[in-house]
Structure 1
Amino acid sequence: MTDQMTDPTTQTLVIEREMPHSPEKIWRALTQSSLIEQWLMKNDFQPEVGHEFSFRATPVPNWNGVIDCKVLVVEPNSRLSYSWGSFGLETVVTWTLTPSKNGTHLRMEQSGFRSEKDASYKGATYGWQRFIASLEHVVAEAN
């Protein structure tokens, strides 16, 4: 069995941003269910390793709108990782927060795509750009 993180046959999507906020403030937006709903989707997330949860979007033809997930890593204010299962594809989303001179360096990595040409990879590339822009707005507005 190969590890998705090192399997050369899979593709990884990486999006990085510098945010003028503390890691603690960004962490809240990544781990509090009510804040996650504001920038991503409805959910029953809890920052506990092993917790199974789902993201729920508006159903569309050929998709019920549910993404099945499981928390894999919780390192407060530093690293969060969870599985992301939808459309028959199992990927892993990892958030890494690194303090920087002007706030925090945010890195979002989603690994396990079959190909850069795959519709799931293309959809994720588009979707995460929008979601992270929304995350930045929620973090800026949150107390």
Structure 2
Amino acid sequence: MNNLKKYEMIIYCLIYPILTMLFFMIWIHQSTLPGGDIGMTPFLVGIVLLIVFGIEITLVLILRKRINSLLNKLTCLFVAFLIYELTMWSLGGFGEFVLLESFKKPFAENIEGAFSFSSIFSLLIILGLILIIERLNKKTLHNTV
């Protein structure tokens, strides 16, 4: 169990892009937009997720010994979301933040909303996993004492 705890944030870094792409592809499948409007967006999301993964895994590997408390893990999730949004903002030509643009259209026709909310849903699932694992670790710690 201690070995898993050592690599816990690395596992979350691997899960994050997979879940984000999965949720984005589910949105594309449910979208009412024509194929020309959403044709290249999966590639854009893939590129953004590769950039975010590279930055995030580097930071986690550098700071892995400091990321041991629940607060530090939650901070990592927040930083991952900020990196994702800043990357989308920079690739979008430094206009508005994607999250702020996501409230301007109905959800089924909103590519910006799909970008942001797929990331938010992924991070919420990872947050749930972190909380479950923290609770299990506390139970096993109490049982061994």
Class of the TM-score when normalised by the shorter of the 2 chains: 0.3 to 0.5
Of structures 1 and 2, the larger Rg is shown by: 2
Looking at secondary structure, tell me which structure has more helix per residue: 2
Q: Please report the TM-score for the alignment, with normalisation by the length of structure 2.
A: 0.40
TM-score by length of 1: 0.40
Whichever structure has more strand as a proportion of its residues is 1
